[in-house]
Structure 1
Amino acid sequence: MGSPLSPVIANLFMEWVETRALSTATYKPKLWLRYVDDTFIIWEHGKEKLGEFMQHLNLVHEKIKFTMELEENSELPFLHVLVKKKEDGSLGHTVYRKKAHTDRYLNAKSHHHPAQLHSVMKTLITRSQRLADEDNKHQEMERIRTALLQNGFTRSSINKACRLPKAKHKEEKEVPIGNAYLPYIKGTTDKIRKIRAKRNIRTVFTTDIKISQMLPNPKTKVNLEQQGVYEIPCKDCQGSYIGQTNRRINVRKEEHQNAVKKDQKTSSLAQHVKSTAHTINFEKTRMIKNIEHTTARIIREAIEIEKLEHAR
């Protein structure tokens, strides 16, 4: 949900910024790789010249300011990858985790559909296979096994998930005539799903009221009486609408609510509700950043949309 054109415009603008910056720099990086607003560079001209290069970057456009993170202990995180410098000067890589990461995942003993529990294992295993090189793959897999065991998964289920199947040609499935949303109840809704599947009705399992929904929010409400970039989440999925406005965000939120009520075809939120039967969580509307300058708002909106797509 969000403008499909914004990421394209933001990328074009950032390409212009980096092209101008690199073409006019006295000292240039050996390697420059950018993904949205994260850039990885290899610098071989010393720290003093690196500081001068940073100043040069921040003079290209008044609304675009770069910050810098240097390697520490021959390691540097970039996106979800931890890049390591080896003794011979070559680079290795593995999965990056923040220092505060606890290895807590969905517990295998929790009341969730087996497919969701299996997805936890497959996601972690697939990520390790894709992001860790051969030198780090074994260590990464051992960490995943330990973490999954601590979260209630059995060794047999972990071993089964580790046997990654070869890619198979997917046969085209018949489009379901409709969707049925049911709270998952082990032994009951499973049977209902099979009955409905025979009639080409897809069953989507939902969670009931979460503990977090029953507790008061300890965080101070963000001021929505300002302009800027904002997010409106969906109650029933991980989707969110990212937008920007030069008016008060509360006013824009009310317009979105009216659009959903009237089922406006031009509203991304209204179309999301219509196509999925989900509920938009307008109460959780939050301001991402208060920005007055129009161009800066559009760029930040595009970046947030791209980040959201990347996180899914």
Structure 2
Amino acid sequence: MAEIFMEQMEEKILGLEDPLIATILHWFRYVDDIFVVTTATTRQIDKLLNLINSIHSNLKFTVELEVDNRLNFLDLSVTRLGSSLEFDIYRKPTFTDCVIGKSSNVPNNIKYASFHSMLHRLISIPLSLDNYLKELGKIHTIARNNGYTIGEINNLLLKKLRKQKREGVYARIPKDGNDNWRKLRYGNKDCIKIGNELRKVGIQPAFYNDRTIGNYLINNKPKIGKELKSGIYSIKCNDCDSTYVGMTQRALQTRISEHLKRPLSHVNQHMAEQGHSFTMDNVSLLHRGHKKWKLSCLEMLYIKEASKNNTVLLNGQLTPAYYSPLLQ
């Protein structure tokens, strides 16, 4: 919606029959940041700004002028050399060279993502030779400071240059956009093998790592008791080793209450036959979650794990045969 609105604004602005609009030689926009090359004087630029701001009462632009023939725009530094423009890569003064380290336990495509971005920018922007070599040197420095080798970066650069050359000769085949994506937790390199198998059946894995900074930060919010959470749970008999493993998308206390009240539940039948009891004190939340398809898979895993440990299960559930290869 924002893009549609800005396009309409541009049409109105550039369609004005005003001498100030005629001073605009080039107009480049990215979202709401606009780079303008104009022949207007400083005084005329102020009038041009007022003209543009008069188009819509709720939209006000500000202006930043070049200093020493140079102006920073997004991640570019543009220098005016006579009638031509020279480009360089711009990084804010607050920029740090910290990227995902080589030793991080994440897939390689995530590790190298920042370098893919920097190298793509390097070969896509028409830099002078000096600026090209200067930027490549900065990328090498960032790589070294984060545990990567210069050889790795140069190999990525060569692959990108070859790809750029191929695309200049052969037309790109557009994707159909019907990819079926699924989140997949990344534990080690074996997950990559699983991802490759999923791709063969038309499923694109989106790897993620649950060891995020947020998980290690102190949370001062009031903690929710287990009885109000949902997920995979186990309830153990107060009088013997019998255990029930199940899942719920609702509050745990609601599900346990149903077990105790419904005559046909495995828990209630055990109470009636053995004269035993169950309470919330012997309920454990094994995995917190609320998505049904994910909980269904996890429930089978926990039941399988409990059966391996010779736990006396009340479930009476059998793991479907077609899932058995995945649970080995």
Alignment length (residue pairs): 213
Counterpart for residue 113 of structure 1:
107
Cα gap change, 1:188 to 1:74, in 2 (>3 Å): same
Question: Per-residue deviation at 1:198?
Answer: 5.0
The 2-side partners of 1:63 and 1:127 are apart by: 35
The 2-side partners of 1:177 and 1:142 are apart by: 37
Counterpart for residue 144 of structure 1:
139
Cα gap change, 1:112 to 1:33, in 2 (>3 Å): same
Q: What SS does the aligned partner of 1:24 have?
A: coil
Cα gap change, 1:175 to 1:52, in 2 (>3 Å): closer
The 2-side partners of 1:55 and 1:113 are apart by: 51
Question: Per-residue deviation at 1:92?
Answer: 0.4
Partner AA of 1:67 in structure 2 = T
Question: Per-residue deviation at 1:18?
Answer: 3.7
The 1-side partners of 2:43 and 2:175 are apart by: 60
The 1-side partners of 2:94 and 2:101 are apart by: 19
Question: Per-residue deviation at 1:116?
Answer: 1.6
Asked which structure has the greater CA Rg, the reply is 2
**Contact 1:176–1:202 at 8 Å: present in 2 too?**
no
- What TM-score does the superposition give when structure 2 sets the normalisation length? 0.55
Counterpart for residue 125 of structure 1:
119
Counterpart for residue 74 of structure 2:
79
- What TM-score does the superposition give when structure 1 sets the normalisation length? 0.58
What's the % identity of the aligned pairs? 23
The 2-side partners of 1:217 and 1:49 are apart by: 54
Cα gap change, 1:29 to 1:185, in 2 (>3 Å): same
Counterpart for residue 31 of structure 1:
25
The 2-side partners of 1:139 and 1:210 are apart by: 34
Counterpart for residue 55 of structure 1:
50
The 1-side partners of 2:44 and 2:183 are apart by: 59
Counterpart for residue 230 of structure 1:
none
Give the superposed CA RMSD.
3.4
* Structure 2 residues not aligned, in runs of 5+: 221-290, 295-328
The 1-side partners of 2:135 and 2:216 are apart by: 37
The answer on 1:207 being equivalent to 2:209 is yes
Q: What SS does the aligned partner of 2:58 have?
A: coil
Question: Per-residue deviation at 1:69?
Answer: 0.5
Counterpart for residue 228 of structure 1:
none
Question: Per-residue deviation at 1:109?
Answer: 1.7
- Greater RCO, CA 8 A, separation 6+: 1
* Residues 191-249 of structure 1: per-residue CA shift (max 9 Å, x gap): 3334444555443311114112442589xxxxxxxxxxxxxxxxxxxxxxxxxxxxxxx
The answer on 1:10 being equivalent to 2:6 is yes
The 2-side partners of 1:47 and 1:149 are apart by: 45
**Contact 1:30–1:42 at 8 Å: present in 2 too?**
yes
The 2-side partners of 1:171 and 1:40 are apart by: 32
The 2-side partners of 1:44 and 1:173 are apart by: 43
Question: Per-residue deviation at 1:105?
Answer: 1.6
